[in-house]
Chain A
Amino acid sequence: MKVKLFYFAKIREAIGVDREELDLANDIKTVSDLIEVLKGRGSHWQDMFSMSSSFRMAVNQEMVEATHKISTNDEVAFFPPIAFFPPITGG
């Protein structure tokens, strides 16, 4: 199963990758399974994906939970929690 992966902001910088395509094994069914694969790459990957509070994910540009099932040709993105807060734009 082929998927496109995108990484943004702090995560992108930490792992040094902004996008990639992966051909996943048949036993990878959910985003959670995919995260385990990424953590297996070690060092920065392990650091970035160990704490569920430090990242969010989207499949085909919709925010999802880690239990979300992935399908072939899905676009999966990982990024930090969305970061605006009032003092920035005078709001």
Chain B
Amino acid sequence: MRNYDIVIVGGGPAGLAAAVAAKNSGCDSVLILERDSELGGILNQCIHNGFGLHTFKEELTGPEYADRFIRQAIDLKIPYKLNTMVMDISPERVVTAMNREDGMFLIQAKAVILAMGCRERPRGALNIPGFRPAGIFSAGTAQRLVNIEGYMPGKEVVILGSGDIGLIMARRMTLEGAKVKLVAELMPYSGGLKRNIVQCLDDFGIPLLLSHTVVDIEGKEHITAVTIAQVDDSRKPIPGTEERYTCDTLLLSCGLIPENELSQSAGVELSPVTGGPVVNESLETAIPGIFACGNVLHVHDLVDYVSEEAKKAGETAARYVRGEIAGESGKTIVLRAESGVRYTVPSTVDPERMDDLLTVRFRVGSVYKDAFVSVYFDDERVQHKKKRIIAPGEMEQIVLQKQQLARYPDLKTITLRIEQD
């Protein structure tokens, strides 16, 4: 059995930022385990720009953004193992991993940081009727084929789902000479960022059909056409609205799922809303010493927020290893998501353990115009901020101040709500 203070599962943006922060916080025994052949995670296939506006105040491509963190990790001499798959994590923080050189090996970690990212929802889980031919890809798989392997899946493309990867791939496939006929979105709003709709669809004249879905897939061996229909308020196809589009490629961008099989093997409690671990203000899961950050915790819209969150996980994990987070103070305040707010990360706050400022991130369940984000301390409204637009595709946040919480010694619940006035 090998020993490390902190083992980080995943060498993508979350894992890298967590590793750098842990090391900078004085923890010398940090190991990153990465299943791919390079550090950087999914950023390596995101060759478009627009990354890092918050973190570096400049527009970087995905690989450039990753490289900033990879270089920090290398400069700090943080060890990492590539082509290494973590097979299991025990509640006692024994990490079982495997690669060609070391075989299967066990590491006893004092702290584990979960940074495995997320995966795409596949066709099968969407219950799309029709045949199951070649030519149907999740958008990220197509992105890998195009940007990493250098191959085109097809040249006549229909995209189902308006998640960010689908939008990005609409532009990418167009630039490669393919005809992207349309993007169909089941919901009455897009799940992607506004800027991606403008830059990837509008600028190329690609129509976005909201409240539409695929109701049939044709082609026994290879996809030849899809039928798109409008859906009603309960998301059921409306008969008579069907339109058939020939295509040789169907890309799916219908949601991302935090990848938490390992978290479950460790016994970590997951949120049914985010699919990610339930964490406290230290980004610590219900299992002491196991922390989570990035898309494995909840799916982010911008990588900058992943880095910010991961930095915090790295710092608190380092403090945990030093014994500075010795149990809870016993005062746990529950964070509640209500009236349009789908979830919050974290789910609980310990008013003594928290930093001076605590960022609480959340997403909303539908589009709100000129609405207020309100924060209630039990029954008292303490924040009430007007926003021009709040949309499910964009992550929102509020900030809690330790000082302010200290003035409410009997506080039990902090509630976030979207309010119209």
Partners in one complex: no
